[in-house]
Amino acid sequence: MRLAIRDARDRANVTQPQVAEAMEWSLSKVIRIENGDVSIAPNDLRPLLTFLKVKDRTTINELLELTKIARKRPRGEWYQKPGVKEHMTSAMLRLVEFEAEAVEIRYYQVYYMPGPLQVPAYTSANLANFDENDILPDTRRLRAEARERRREVVLARLGNGLSIYALLDESVLRRPIGGPEVFLEQLQDLHDLMAAEKIKLRVLRFDSGYTVTNNATFDLLTLESGKEGERNEVLYVETGLQDEIVDDRSVHRYHDRFDKIWNAAATEDETLDFIADRVKALEEQLRATS
């Protein structure tokens, strides 16, 4: 919704101050609507679309319906509550909202499992690797709980308006974060999701010959379709020390890059077999040490 409004304003070659003046709104209201901080009422959206010269009836009806859905969603979600939001970055808060609206999510990871695909024990072990000077204990605990909540929301939407495509470097499926028992639980969960055809996942094998770049990891979220089938996408990038949401036109390059690597990776069937082999190896390792 917010991106569709901003794109309509860009196509109309109108600035935010001009919108504020024409609609008799404060500039801060325009900014907050386009940032996704507040929803827009249908009675405000109609004259705004008229001002921005959006005339396609189908597009108008779709945006009005999205506005109604957004306003039905209760405010004061768990991630906005005091004691929680202070421990999350602004980019994380926006990511949570986008995950609840996305129709497709593409994960590309070379270090660890994508957040919503992590089982709780794996999440806790992964966050424990951060120095206390980087993430305080309370923040670590709250972020672990937040990741579990995100997982619940994302998995509940699979097959109900959301598709997931995960692309993992082979190192992710070999790095036993949390130790053999925790990692076994994580791989079994991943295997079950794939076997049930709830997610599509491919592994980029070491012998693929594909070069992994330094800025390799990202979450790419596809929202409602734009005009004439244009992709409406946002990107979440995290380096460990900082994170950000990118929602400009450069995002499309990441989609193209994802597709290129996806085609170079092992197929879903080959990946499922690879994970099954890793599960078997870990089970044998645990039996040998018990």
The pair of three-digit structure tokens given for residue 148, joined into one six-digit string: 């579990």
Given a cut of 70, is residue 234 above it in pLDDT? yes
**In this structure, which amino acid lies at residue 266?**
A
The answer to whether the CB of 2 falls within 8 A of the CB of 34 is: yes
With a cut of 50, say whether residue 170 has pLDDT above it: yes
Provide CB contacts within 8 A for 4, sequence distance 6+: 63, 66, 224, 226, 232
The pLDDT score that the predictor gives to residue 216 is 72
Which residues touch 158 (CB under 8 Å, ≥6 apart)? 164, 198, 199
Tell me 85's DSSP state.
G
Asked if the model's pLDDT at residue 80 lies above 80, the reply is no
Give Dmax over CA atoms of the chain in angstroms: 73
Label residue 4 by pLDDT band (50, 70, 90). confident
Q: What is the DSSP letter of 14?
A: -
Could you tell me what percent of the chain has a pLDDT over 90? 44
* 221/27: higher pLDDT: 221
The dihedral sign for the CA sequence 54, 56, 60, 63: negative
Is residue 192 pLDDT above 60, yes or no?
yes
More confident residue, 80 or 10: 10
Handedness of CA 79, 83, 87, 90 (dihedral sign): positive
Is it the case that residue 71 has pLDDT exceeding 60? no
Residue 243 has pLDDT above 80, yes or no: yes
**Which of 8-12, 48-52, 108-112 is the least confident region?**
8-12
* 68 vs 244, more confident: 244
Per-residue pLDDT of 134-165, as tens digits, reads: 677 778 888 888 889 999 989 999 988 899 99
Mean pLDDT along residues 111-136: 85
CA 70 to chain centroid: 18
The CA angle 206-209-259, to the nearest 5 degrees, is 95
Q: Is the pLDDT of residue 74 over 50?
A: no
Question: Which is higher by pLDDT, 58 or 184?
Answer: 184
Q: How confident is the model at residue 3 (pLDDT cuts 50, 70, 90)?
A: confident
Chain segment 15-53, per-residue pLDDT in tens: 988 998 999 988 878 887 887 667 788 888 889 999 999
Q: Where are the alpha helices (DSSP H) in 52-169?
A: 57-72, 90-99, 120-127, 137-157
Residue 204 has pLDDT above 90, yes or no: yes
What pTM does this model have?
Answer: 0.75
- Cα dihedral 190/196/197/203 (nearest 10): 30
| Residue keyed to tokens 């699979």 | 158
pLDDT the model gives residue 205: 94
Distances (CA, A) of 154 to 34, 99, 168, 221, 281: 24, 7, 18, 12, 29
Q: Which domains does the chain have, with CATH numbers?
A: 2-72 (1.10.260.40), 78-289 (3.30.870.10)
